[in-house]
Structure formats: structure tokens, C-alpha cells
A and B are shown apart, each in its own frame.
Chain A
């Protein structure tokens, strides 16, 4: 059986019409993501990467061109695509358990309970079922959000700067976790990030976008063995290649160095 989760984007264009302006946010985006691939989209603010992600999730409507998942044109949100936002967006009035179960049709059934339990274990939150979001740290909350997005076993997981709000150390720990989850679930992941190191650590391919209008400038493959060593020569090489696209060099790094 062929693995599901192929995303094909063809000549995607997104325009916002205002009263006296016609703003093109995305223009001629062409991208194919294979099942099980980890893709990072990187670009400066305003390059439309979040709009792209929201289009794929189905939260944003109206576009030209095609977005196909396993050959099927997208029409609104679907349980086949999970999403993790930058802010964890856990509902504060529900326990972690209930939050994780939000995507399930019958969250109270025995089967659902088992699924929730499995996913809490997957993200390392076993024992926090009855806790409320405000009792969790930022990293734990984001892990809960990932569990919530994965609980339906979607074909694609879309992550909108999921680690952007975390501190540097937690972030590095989360890189390991994310990679582990990705491997374990064998799921397609598309992540938006600002962080070049993060993109290189996690991705198979890095999509570099330019802004106004948002277009794909370059797709850089990352053919490094995992787990990746941030200090290795190849790693730095790829980093330079990415930064080149922004006319930046490692002399003026905007990412964290440790």
C-alpha cells in the first residue's frame, strides 16, 4: 500500500483584495512534499509563509492554482491535516487530557481514551492528564498541542513556528523530541520557522521564501545523517547556503550560537 501524505502545490497564488489595493501575498508557489518528509519553510516576516500554511490547513479560503493532498483538491479543514500553532492554544477550561482529545469524534470512548493516553506518552506528558494548561510550562504546553494535533493520526502535520515562543534550551530539547515523534509516527511534517539552525536540524528540505509577493526562492536539500551535529562542517556549510539567500553571513548570525 502506498503511503499517504503527498502534498502537491501547483501555481498557488493568493491575493487579498482591499478597497483600493490588490495585494498579492503568494505568487506561483510550486512544491511537492513526499510522504514522511520533513519540510521547513523559512523566510523573513511578511513573506506569506503563515498564509501558505493556513491555506494548506484550510483555515484560509480562496486561492488560485491547486493544493492537492494525495491528488485530491483541498476543500476546508480536514482531520487529515493536523496543525500546531505558535501559541499552544490549549483551551484553558479543559484538562490536558480533554485538550488532547479535542480532535476525536467520541473523546469519551475507551478507544479514544487509549489513543489520548498513547499520545500523551508519545509527547512525554504521562501523568499530566488531569492538569490544566496554566499548570504546564511553555515546552510542556507545546508538547500537549502536538499531541492534540496528532491524535487523529493525520497524514500531514503543519507546524507554525511551534517553538518560537520557547527559550533556547527548551527549544533544543524540543528539537530532539520533535524528531523522535516524527520518526516514530512516520508522518509528513511541514514547519514554518525563523530559525535556520532549527530548520537544518530537523528538515529533509528547506524551502526559502522571499517576500512581496511571497515566492519560493530556493529549495535546499539537507542530506545529513540524523541526529545532526550542529558543529559539523556540513551543517555549517548548509547554514551558510541558507543565510546566503538572505544576504547574510555567519559573521552576523541572527540565530542562537552556543
Chain B
């Protein structure tokens, strides 16, 4: 019996060690996770595309032996959360639903800055009879559960006096979404412009040209533990991030061109970002636009049972100190205005 107990203890200790050891592994690597469900490249955020294409992080950290490890997570935002939870990622970059769900369920992360302007299109098969959102009633709708398009669907339904219960939701994403749309297993769902370009689907609604509250507002988050251990690294990282966003904000066409390196055609980028100033799109600030959208989202998610615990993002999520310090150091405090919930600059 004693032997048995000691065997069990050894097993338990083994598991504990396995779970906790990665946290203590001292490697000079910063691991950043991107939701990469469809293209295995960052899908939105012009500043990010620019920073990556220019290898700005790598340049900054090369000199003292730190490397940047970019991870494209097929499971999208929820997958990034898992990476942060099991210590295989230090930084994440994801939309309102994954960030808020994670924090609501106790994942210890802080949001350092914003990455705005993600777009999406509500698609139906080319030959579908569905014309409006109201036509979706009772239909099988593909949803990449837990991602920002899931949240987007809730918003769009709410506008039309419907809820998710009016649909048959089928959890699907990426290529599965595309094939399911083709086979008719799902009758609608949010997807990218490329499906329309290839003649697979037709759009019945899109975020392009709509109120900013429909757009994907990502936040750039860090694991609290990493923040505690390497505040200097976080500080430098945020500085590079701000520097890159600043450069991206200077010339829209140039920035769009750089973003084609992330895999999207220039024409698509132009269409998706039409009617929005490059300054707005590249602003990293956690301003009124972000906080209002997140606050509304929290309420909406609670109402739909996607999160169970409400919390105050100001107290638990946002940490603006690094961004403010970087802006100050780079003398960019006045480069970006604060935007209000409608995406309009607030005059000082």
C-alpha cells in the first residue's frame, strides 16, 4: 500500500513538474501568438503587417541575443489563449471575444495596446436564396466559436432583433468552413474576401464602410508572469511596436503595399480599408473606441452566456503604462488623437 501511494505521489509530482517547468525555462525567446486560422498569417492590423514585414522586432533584439518566435495558431484567438495558459506563448494578439473570455475565466493577461481595423464578410454560397440577415433564421450558420467573428455575428443579429438561438450554429473554421459552405452543410458564415474573389461565395453583409464597432479591435496582450519577470523586454517590445505603427501611419499606400507580404492582394487591402484614415487604423491607443467596444461586448457576451463572470477591464485588463512610456520616449504623445466610440478623433 505504501508503495502504491509513493507511486501515485511520483506520478502527481511528475505531472506538476511537467506543467510548471516551462515557466522556469530561462530562454531568451519572446513567443508571440497570432490567430492564423485562414492564411496562417496575421489577418488584420495594418501596423502589425508593417512591423512584421520590416522585421522590426528582430532588428531590435538581435543585438542582445533575444529571438522573436512568431506562432500562427490555426485555432485562432482561442488557440492563442491556450498557448498563453500553458506557457507556450508570452504575447498574444487577438480580438474582443477571446481576450475577454480568457480574462473572465481567470487567465492572467494584460492588454498593452490596440490593433484596429479587422474586417469580415457575411457569406452565403453563390447560388443561395439568402439575401438579408433576417433570412438566416433557422439556417445552419458556420461560426468559428470564440473568435471575434462569433462576437460580430451576435452584434449583427442583435441589430436585427435576433439572437444566436434563432440559428443553427455549427462550429467550424478555416478550410472546414469553406468546404462546408461548398457542400451545403452550412448555409452562411463570416469569411474572407478571397472566397468571393474565387466565386465560392457571395456576401450579404460586410464590416467594410460600417460603424467601427463592427470592426475587429484586437488587443496586444502579455502574460502577467512574463511582464513581472521581464518588464524591460516588454518595454522595448512596446517601443518597437509603437515605432513601427508610427512609420505605418505616415503613408497609407506604402503601408498597404507592405501588407501584401502577409498574403493578401493589394486590391483586397485597398477595398477592405477604404474610407478609413491610416492614422485611425494604426493607432495603438487603448482609447474610448476600444474601451466602449469592449464594454459593450462584455455585456453582450454575458447576455449570450459566452462569459459567466463580468469584470472591469480598466482594473483587470488594460495596462497603459508601457504604451504611454513608449509614446513619451518617442515624442509621439500627440501623433495619434484619442478616438471616441464612433471612431472620430476627439479634439483636445
A and B touch in the complex (CB under 8 A): no
- Taking Cβ atoms with an 8 Å cutoff, the residues of A that contact B are none
